[in-house]
Amino acid sequence: MSYEKVSQAENIIVGTKQTAKALKTQPVKEVIVAQDADPRVTMKVIQIAEQKQVPLTKVDSMKKLGKACGIEVGAAAVAIIK
């Protein structure tokens, strides 16, 4: 599952703003978005990922995604950097 992919990745960027910025400025291997996050928050990241043709994976829980990143709070979006 994608949670393992995130926890095993060497370089990740956590958060919607940082993920959107990374998509614009550096090579991103994959974007993971939590489905239980507010769509208004994740919409921009999803649009940019689709424009840049970066693989987009959706997971069910912000809390689990945050835990996979090693943080105590939920994460709406994560970018795995090449």
pLDDT band (50, 70, 90) for residue 1: low
Domain chopping of the chain, boundaries: 2-81
| DSSP string covering the chain | -HHHHHHH-SSEEESHHHHHHHHHHS-EEEEEEETTS-HHHHHHHHHHHHHTT--EEEES-HHHHHHHHT-SS--SEEEEE-
| pLDDT (0 to 100) of residue 82 | 87
pLDDT at 16 over 70: yes
Question: At the fourth CATH level, which superfamily is domain 2-81?
Answer: Ribosomal protein L30/S12 (3.30.1330.30)
pLDDT at 43 over 70: yes
pLDDT at 51 over 80: yes
% of the chain at pLDDT higher than 70: 99
pLDDT at 74 over 90: yes
